[in-house]
Amino acid sequence: MTHRILVTAAAAMVVTIGTQAGGQTCLGRASFSSGSARVGANYRSVSIYGGEVGYGKTASWFGLAQGDRWQKSDAPTFSASWSRLMATAGYQVPIKTSGFEVCPLASFGYYVSGQSHTINSNSDYTGRQYQLGGAIGYSAGASRDWMVVPSLAMQFVRQTANGTWEYGDQTFRGSPPAYDFGLSTFTLGITKDRFTFSPFLQRPFGTRSLTTHWGLGLGYNVGKK
């Protein structure tokens, strides 16, 4: 019973955004040629909202810093929340003149505070998230300044946690087993010069604790072209 509770509590930290970090074609975003810095915001249908800032150059390295928040409540029987900070690095590799671009990706996230409270259980924890994978995108077409940029990202995710879990008269302090799963993200980026509108669909695999969900992202490139 205790082991199952710990795994469930760790799984509550899931649903990441690493894959939504800024690239350009490979992640369905406006090119860094329109501005070397990016600011943005996003929302996911699983009650996660966040913001991001990024910097990069075309056909080169890019980086992103992101913060997001998840909170859910069904008072008085259940409440849970976490806050997360995340950093992502990637490298953009255009495939000659084909319109395709690939990007290896690596992310690290830290859960500043996580908690879950029910009638019979309580948990307070911090955690770490590691992501490694890649993405491919294609510039599908253009009408004047408009571009349609579909992309697909695949990443391996590992999460670890440390904290206190209580269930009835049982208390566990420390770190439950690491939680591993895969995450695929399909994004349909719509860009116009510096602006990006990016609806996306995320599907976890290798786990039964998480469900497919959708989201919306907005981004705007600033700085010199």
Query: For 62-103, how does the pLDDT look when each residue is reduced to its tens digit (9 = 90+)?
Result: 999 999 999 988 877 889 999 999 999 999 999 987 889 999
Q: Higher confidence at residue 58 or residue 131?
A: 131
Backbone angles phi, psi at 21, to 5 degrees: -65, 155
Count of domains forming the chain = 1
CA dist list (Å): 38 to 54, 70, 215:
5, 23, 19
Place 193 in a pLDDT band, splitting at 50, 70 and 90: confident
- Residue 124 belongs to a domain with what CATH number? 2.40.128
pTM here is 0.83
pLDDT score, position 21: 36
Place 26 in a pLDDT band, splitting at 50, 70 and 90: very high
Query: For 4-25, how does the pLDDT look when each residue is reduced to its tens digit (9 = 90+)?
Result: 434 444 444 444 433 333 348 8
> Using CA atoms, how far apart are residues 89 and 108, in angstroms rounded to an integer?
9
What is the average pLDDT across 117-130? Answer: 93
> Using CA atoms, how far apart are residues 58 and 31, in angstroms rounded to an integer?
7
Share of the chain above pLDDT 90, in %: 65
Q: Which residue(s) pair with 160 in the sheet?
A: 128
Q: Tokens at residue 31, please?
A: 């090119």
pLDDT score, position 83: 96
Beta strands in the chain (DSSP E): 37-44, 48-56, 61-74, 78-91, 93-94, 100-118, 121-138, 141-143, 146-167, 170-174, 179-192, 195-205, 213-222
Query: For 95-117, how does the pLDDT look when each residue is reduced to its tens digit (9 = 90+)?
Result: 987 889 999 999 999 999 899 99
Q: Could you tell me the residue range of the domain that residue 176 belongs to?
A: 2-222
